[in-house]
Structure 1
Amino acid sequence: MIFRQLFDPASCTYTYLLGDRDEALLIDPVFEQAPRDLALLDELGLKLLATLDTHVHADHVTGAWWLHERCDSRIALASVAGAMFSDLPLSHGDRIRFGHRYLEVRATPGHTNGCLTYVLDGQHMAFTGDSLLIRGCGRTDFQQGSPRQLFRSVHEQILTLPDECLLYPAHDYRGITVTSVGEERRFNPRLGGEADAHDFVGYMDNLNLPHPKLMAQAVPANLRSGKPEDARLPAGIPAWAPLTQRFSGIWEIEPITLQEYAGTVQIVDVREASEFNDSLGHIHGAKLLPLSRLTDSLTELDRQRPLVTVCRSGVRSAQACALLNKAGFDQVANLAGGMLRWRSEGMPAACGDENL
């Protein structure tokens, strides 16, 4: 089985990818991170069957609708949440299959009335959303929250799992990635040890926390399964050409696409001068700026025009993209596969004054 824990620094949200054979599920995807998730699915050769939200989030917008639009994946959420566009409403005891594996749905309300915990078959991994955090839990003072209900949910549905079962929460604000049932049963200061329901209710009723900053925007958006009112793409998606984002974060352009857009972009070849006119040649109109002196040559580039970097295989030009992004260039892409791919696909090239 493939398992990846992904992180959104803006909201401290963990997104989880689970894959078996060629099928995958994503738990708690973040709208702005959809390009990252799509890149990882593509690189691992996985088909996204469904996105599973643990609850209607108040601190970020789900990527469920956006991923559905790109992957035709189903949108799964607790049926009691009443979210629009959800085509896989979930209830306690349901099973969500992928490959030869499945997740069991456990209703764990209390943080919100629609909180779910997903337990992997074999009960060695569970995804608890905000119902149980690492040495903590989600708040209970809005979205039909109830401390008494949350106490019952955690003790009856999560802490009854085997001690060695690993627990993966929806958030952690300290960078801690995982805990276990045994740890939380012993050390959770709110729900573990000898704490009873009265202790927990007294604790939760006196937190006096301000509401999440994005609550007024996030909750309505998540009740639409993350679909924006104007249906616009996530921020940061380049519009100047059809590009693919790699999991490394680098945007790439295919050779056939670059040939189509060559007249509107700057093409910067970052190889050494001796390579520019070697047997691979170079793209017509490309500007030679070796990677070794790229940062000293930024004034030679137009910041207003999109820019494509090129090298032999795409490795050095990917580093050039990173350097240019750091220098404030925000319309940059790498030629996928470099000149090797360009030539293998029969694209025109030049060597000195001669066509190849």
Structure 2
Amino acid sequence: MLFRQLFDYDTWTYTYLIADESTKEAVLVDPVLEKVERDRQLIAELGLTLRYGLETHIHADHITGTGKLRELTDCVGVVPENAEAACADRHIKDGETLQIGSIPIKAIATPGHTDSHMAFLVNNDRVLTGDALFIRGCGRTDFQSGDPGTMYDVITQKIFTLPDETLVYPGHDYRGHTVSTIGEEKRWNPRFVNVDSPGTLRDRNSFIELMNNLNLPDPKKIMEAVPANQQCGQTVGASQ
């Protein structure tokens, strides 16, 4: 398996390139519009064929590159089930698997950050958590129909039940971290564990109270990103 983690410094976003080295089929997860040429060049240099542009959710902090990549490569745009993106070629359901050559990419419904969010278990050894779980953090839950109780449930009951050695690759990082493990996050993630008792989960009500009192500013690009991403990366007012 070929696996690459790519970064957009302007929005602190990770994009993931996954490919089967035998078939040369590839998928890009959460591509960023401004980085499409970088990604396309890398795909060409590696001799890959892009099969899918795959989204963890409808983003509020950057405009997706999937629509542009679809124009350039004829890839299939895939978004989570119930995501408001009628322009997508395909909606993926909880438990459904995309097959890239011999590599399975299994969708795990993880709403909470938004009401239609997916994590993706890749090759059964790493999970792309999008904005559901960060390294020592998690995505916010105060807009796009987010819900902290739902977030707590899906992380503790779905993501944290993966094997401890499963690698965690988030959708963003703001402190320079690139990868973690399920075991690390179960022990040290301050959003979900008691800081004075590492490895002990905080209770659900405590998590909800914490998330409801973060008082974070809106993402800088929210007003353009959300409507653009509902159109697969096409900015409002652009020609169809």
Q: TM-score, normalised by structure 1?
A: 0.64
The structural deviation recorded for 1:231 is: 4.9
Structure number with the bigger relative contact order (C-alpha 8 A, sep ≥ 6) is 2
* Deviation for aligned residue 1:187: 0.5
**Partner residue in 2 for 1:299:** none
- Find the aligned partners of 1:153 and 1:49 in 2 and give their Cα distance: 29
Match of 1:19 in 2: 19
- Aligned counterpart, 1:190: 191
For residue 32 of structure 2, what is the aligned residue in structure 1? Answer: 30
Structure 2 residue 113 is matched with structure 1 residue 105: no
- Give the whole-Å Cα distance in 1 for the aligned partners of 2:61 and 2:84: 18
- Identical positions, percent: 46
Over the residues paired in the alignment, what is the CA RMSD in angstroms? 1.1
AA partner of residue 238 (structure 2)? D
Alignment of 1:7-86 (within 5 A): 7-20=7-20, 21=22, 22-86=24-88
**What secondary structure, in the 3-state scheme, does the structure 1 residue paired with 2:219 have?**
coil
Q: 1:137, 1:62 → 2: CA distance?
A: 20
Code of the residue aligned with 1:48 in structure 2: it is L
The secondary structure found in structure 2 opposite 1:92 is: coil
**Residue 204 (structure 1) aligns with:** 211
Match of 1:140, SS?
A: coil
CA deviation vs aligned residue, 1:208-261 (integer Å, no higher than 9, x gap): 1111111000000000010234259xxxxxxxxxxxxxxxxxxxxxxxxxxxxx
1:106 offset after TM fit, Å?
0.4
Secondary structure of 1:183 counterpart: helix
Paired residues for 1:1-356 under 5 Å: 1-20=1-20, 21=22, 22-121=24-123, 123-192=124-193, 193-228=200-235, 229-231=237-239
How much does 1:75 deviate? 0.5
Q: Deviations over 1:58-100 (max 9, x none)?
A: 1000000000000100011112112031111011011001111
For each residue in 1:170-198, what CA deviation from the matched residue of structure 2 results, as whole angstroms up to 9, or x when unmatched? 00011110111000001000113331111
Give me the whole-angstrom Cα distance separating, in 2, the residues matched to 1:3 and 1:189: 28
Q: Could you tell me how far apart the structure 2 residues matched to 1:32 and 1:211 are?
A: 21
Separation of aligned partners in 2, 1:231 and 1:3: 35
Q: Which amino acid aligns with 1:207?
A: L
Q: Report SS of the residue matched to 1:48.
A: strand
Separation in 1 of the partners of 2:8 and 2:239?
22
The amino acid of 2:11's aligned partner reads: S
Structure 1 segments of 4 or more deviating over 2 A?
Answer: none
Structure 2: which 5+ runs fail to align?
194-199
Letter in 2 for 1:230: A
Q: Distance in 2 between the 1:33 and 1:163 partners?
A: 33
1:135 and 1:230 map into 2 onto residues whose CA distance is: 39
User: Matches of 2:239 and 2:57 in 1, distance apart?
Assistant: 22
Residues in 2 aligned to 1:92 and 1:156: alpha-carbon distance in whole angstroms: 14
Q: Which amino acid aligns with 1:162?
A: P
Query: Matches of 2:60 and 2:233 in 1, distance apart?
Result: 12
Aligned equivalent of 2:196: none
- CA-to-aligned-CA distance 1:270-323 (integer Å, 9 cap, x gap): xxxxxxxxxxxxxxxxxxxxxxxxxxxxxxxxxxxxxxxxxxxxxxxxxxxxxx
Question: Structure 2: how far apart are the matches of 1:109 and 1:167?
Answer: 17
Report the Cα distance in structure 2 between the residues aligned to 1:202 and 1:150, rounded to whole angstroms.
13
Higher gyration radius (CA): 1
CA distance in 1, matches of 2:7, 2:45: 18
Paired residues in the alignment total: 231
Look up the SS of the partner of 1:159 in the other structure.
helix
Amino acid corresponding to residue 138 of structure 1 in structure 2: G
TM-score in terms of structure 2 length: 0.94
